[in-house]
Structure 1
Amino acid sequence: MNPLIRGSTALAVAVLLALGPASDAGAAAQAAPVVERTLAAAPNDTAQALRVVLGLSVLAVLPALLVCVTSFLRIIIVLSMLRQAIGMPETPPNPVLIGLALFFTLFTMAPVLQSLDEQAFQPFMNGTLGMEAAYAKGTAPLREFMVRQTREQDLALMIELSSARVPQGIEDVGNVQLIPAFMLSELRAAFQIGFLIFLPFLLIDLVVSSVLMTLGMMMLPPTTIALPLKVLMFVLVDGWALILKALVGSFH
């Protein structure tokens, strides 16, 4: 119980007893047990209010957390590069790609989220775990996931740029260095996968351009012929399933 709240309530009761008439003094004395029950129940109400505030704060920063500490970054970049490689910058539309990325992020992060829920969120909501302990237990599964995906070179670069002390182990690496190193590694992995995706579509563009030039059809844009061929090839090889399966399997 906050000492200020307890002190203010006690002061109000004392003033009522001292300044009120005799009849009011009896009423104040009868109200004293009610005040004590209110004081006893106040800690639970305060803890519940803190939980609500914490939940709203997490919801406010959830988009940033989704990009910074999950597999969403790699998945959405690969899907965006796939759309560019096919040659349809607006198809599939952004909501479709974001929806796919969210679901596959959920698939890849399911073990981490389950551990976070069992070790930190549920004990905290039940009141059996304090805020600091819940934060420590909740960040442990996320840190383990990020460490598995992060290259040592990227982590060393972030430690150097932040002018931090050289850590003796991974436990000494702060989240300030680990999170940007994880994002940098995710960007590198996404561009590597995107490069491999671009190659077959680039080959189709080159073949179509060579054929049109050989036939003397200089005025016909190569994309007019190449785009249907790329879509046809992508559908025939079941490209969506192959790429999404490879994406999920690329996480350690």
Structure 2
Amino acid sequence: MTVALLKRCLPLLVLFPGLLLAPAAFADLPGIPAFTVQPGENGTEEYSVTLQILALMTALTFLPAMLMMMTSFTRIIVVFAILRQALGLQATPSNQILLGLALFLSIFIMKPVLEEANRVGLQPYMQEEVTSLEAVELASQPFRRFMLEQTRESDLALFMRIADVQYETPEDVSFWVLMPAFVTSELKTAFQIGFILFIPFLIIDMVVASVLMAMGMMMLSPIIISLPFKIMLFVLVDGWALIMGTLAASYGI
């Protein structure tokens, strides 16, 4: 028992002196400046590359929220979820397929906005024509216009009233007010589209349930019988192409 314990602890005993000597060995090495601020023109300040990378890595954690709050992803994924529920399918298509389809359709819809943000914000920054903060401000303008076009005035007025702020023009609206108003409008539009999608499948369920009741087959679930008819109807009308086209057309594409 003692020999086995010594064999397990031997690697730790070998590494222990190295751990003790490591701080002294690295003490004389030059350190990497983690925070450096360089004064720029017109009183501006430019942060070091190390700090910019840290800020970028931190911002990446908010990427899922930004994807939902600033793009068409919310409307698309909600419509897909309602469609699957209307068809009566519990796990087909799977969540991974719906998320991937919603993601790439969002990229397709947002392509003009992304290209404009790249042209006015990212490319000037890569060519060192603007600072990082100016690049963020320039790149956010296409997203702001997109969100304003898709946001209802009533939703925008609601969050302005909650925040107790007033803006003279829509372009002056803060992102912190525009984002929740935009998501609220997207959810409202998605549920409106989902309601229209539900109607034909609901009619099929009612017809099948009435036929089964008339035949005295009340113990048989109408969902099992109506599911093939709903899938057949969805395929015959080319449902996926119709849904994709409707979602793209709802953004003016």
TM-score range, shorter-chain basis?
0.7 to 0.9
In 1, the alpha carbon distance for the partners of 2:60 and 2:123 equals: 17
User: Does the aligned pair in 2 maintain the 1:73–1:187 contact within 8 Å?
Assistant: yes
Alpha-carbon offset, residue 49 of structure 1:
2.6
Alpha-carbon offset, residue 154 of structure 1:
0.3
In 1, the alpha carbon distance for the partners of 2:60 and 2:98 equals: 22
Does residue 239 of structure 2 align to residue 209 of structure 1?
A: no
In 2, the alpha carbon distance for the partners of 1:132 and 1:175 equals: 15
What corresponds to 1:235 in structure 2?
Answer: 235
Alpha-carbon offset, residue 214 of structure 1:
0.9
Listed one character per residue, the Cα deviations across residues 40-92 of structure 1 (whole Å, up to 9, x for unaligned) are xx97xx64334423432332211110000100000000000000000012111
**Paired letter, 2:127:** N
What corresponds to 2:74 in structure 1?
Answer: 73
**Paired letter, 1:177:** V
**Paired letter, 2:192:** Q
In 2, the alpha carbon distance for the partners of 1:126 and 1:47 equals: 17
Does residue 101 of structure 2 align to residue 124 of structure 1?
A: no
Listed one character per residue, the Cα deviations across residues 128-172 of structure 1 (whole Å, up to 9, x for unaligned) are 2112211220110000000000000000000001111x2111122
User: Does the aligned pair in 2 maintain the 1:51–1:125 contact within 8 Å?
Assistant: no
In 2, the alpha carbon distance for the partners of 1:177 and 1:222 equals: 46
**Paired letter, 1:78:** V
Stretch of structure 1 that moved more, 120-129 or 63-72: 120-129
What corresponds to 1:14 in structure 2?
Answer: none
**Paired letter, 1:229:** F
Alpha-carbon offset, residue 127 of structure 1:
2.3
Over aligned residues, Cα RMSD in angstroms? Answer: 1.7
In 2, the alpha carbon distance for the partners of 1:99 and 1:124 equals: 31
Alpha-carbon offset, residue 206 of structure 1:
0.3
What corresponds to 2:50 in structure 1?
Answer: 49
Same amino acid, percent of matched pairs: 47
1:24-35 alignment, distance < 5 Å: none
- SS of alignment partner, residue 204 of structure 2: helix
What corresponds to 1:37 in structure 2?
Answer: none
Stretch of structure 1 that moved more, 196-205 or 118-127: 118-127
Cα distance change, pair 51–122 in 1 and its aligned pair in 2 (3 A) = farther
What corresponds to 1:26 in structure 2?
Answer: none
Higher helix proportion (structure 1 or 2): 1
Alpha-carbon offset, residue 125 of structure 1:
3.0
Does residue 192 of structure 2 align to residue 192 of structure 1?
A: yes
In 2, the alpha carbon distance for the partners of 1:244 and 1:182 equals: 21
TM-score (norm. length: structure 2): 0.79
Q: How many residues align?
A: 209
**Paired letter, 1:240:** W
**Paired letter, 1:224:** I
In 2, the alpha carbon distance for the partners of 1:173 and 1:249 equals: 26
Stretch of structure 1 that moved more, 197-206 or 219-228: 219-228
Alpha-carbon offset, residue 219 of structure 1:
1.1
In 2, the alpha carbon distance for the partners of 1:121 and 1:51 equals: 14
Q: Rg: which structure is higher?
A: 1
Task: Could you tell me which runs of 5 or more consecutive residues in structure 1 were left unpaired when the two chains were aligned.
Answer: 1-41
TM-score (norm. length: structure 1): 0.79
What corresponds to 1:220 in structure 2?
Answer: 220
Alpha-carbon offset, residue 237 of structure 1:
1.1
**Paired letter, 2:71:** T
Q: Please identify runs of 4+ aligned residues in structure 1 that moved more than 6 A.
A: none
What corresponds to 2:8 in structure 1?
Answer: none
In 2, the alpha carbon distance for the partners of 1:188 and 1:116 equals: 27
